[in-house]
Amino acid sequence: MWLAKTGLFFGFLISCSAALLAQTPEPDKSPMDMSYAPHNYPILKFQGKVKNGGPLARVVYSRPQKDGRELFGKAIKYGEVWRLGANEATEIEFFTNVTLQGKKIPKGRYTLYCIPQPDQWTLIISKDLNSWGAFSYRQTNDLLRVVLPVKKGVQPAMEFFTIFFNDNNHLTIGWDDVRVVVPVEFVTLPK
């Protein structure tokens, strides 16, 4: 009797494990990443090197790979709204008020999109959150748009789409040999 119950119990465990494994998603080809201003904020905080209390900004995005594709003008169409990455639309959170090309942005969380062109990108900061791709993008939700120059032929080329805050706390967007720098100016420091 005991042996039969034990066998049934282990059979139940094995079938539950198999069911869980069948439901486990495969690893994402475009994993999520996060970047802070100042660069490496969590590590600086851990090391006790943080000034003014908290981070200035954080960006959360997915990192697709080039994987041999022609990107700009082909996989990413010129003149069309792009989510800046893959999967969910890229989100940025400002922990303080900022200005971008003289335009004020209140602290808060926003979605980033862009309309790429060969020599310039129109960066869009949208109030719409939790969006998948640019499929539900609506211009009526735009907080602001700014036009930024594109730098081409930058080496080394990046296999993975990358967004990071540089040493000046400007947002840098890069993929392959293309870079766009977003000159964010932090107005007030977080407390």
| Cβ(184)–Cβ(148) below 8 Å | no
Tokens representing residue 16 in the block: 């539950």
Over residues 84-101, the mean pLDDT reads 93
- Give me 125's structure tokens: 């900061």
Do the Cβ atoms of 148 and 181 come closer than 8 Å?
Answer: yes
What is the residue type of 159? E
In a domain, 168, yes or no: yes
What are the strands of the beta sheet with 178-182, ordered from one edge? 158-165, 171-176, 178-182
Q: Is residue 17 part of a domain?
A: yes
Residue 81: pLDDT over 90: yes
In-domain check, residue 159? yes
The token duo for 154 is: 């930058």
Q: What is the pLDDT of residue 16?
A: 47
**Quick check: is 191 in a domain?**
no
Domain count, the chain: 1
Owner of token pair 């006790």: 48
131 vs 76, residue with greater confidence? 76
Cβ neighbour number for residue 95 with a 10 Å cutoff: 21
146 vs 189, more confident? 146
pLDDT of amino acid 133:
78
**Tokens found for residue 28:** 């994402």
By C-alpha distance, which of 175, 189, 23 is closest to 114? 175
Which residue range(s) make up the domain with 42?
Answer: 2-186
Q: What is the pLDDT of residue 75?
A: 94
Check pLDDT > 70 for residue 4.
Answer: no
This prediction has a pTM of 0.81
- Residue 177 burial (10 A CB sphere; 0-12, 13-18, 19+): middle
Query: Does a structural domain hold residue 135?
Result: yes
Q: Would residue 150 count as lying in a domain?
A: yes
CA nearest to 120, candidates 91, 146, 89, 159: 146
20 found inside a domain: yes
Residue 112 in domain: yes
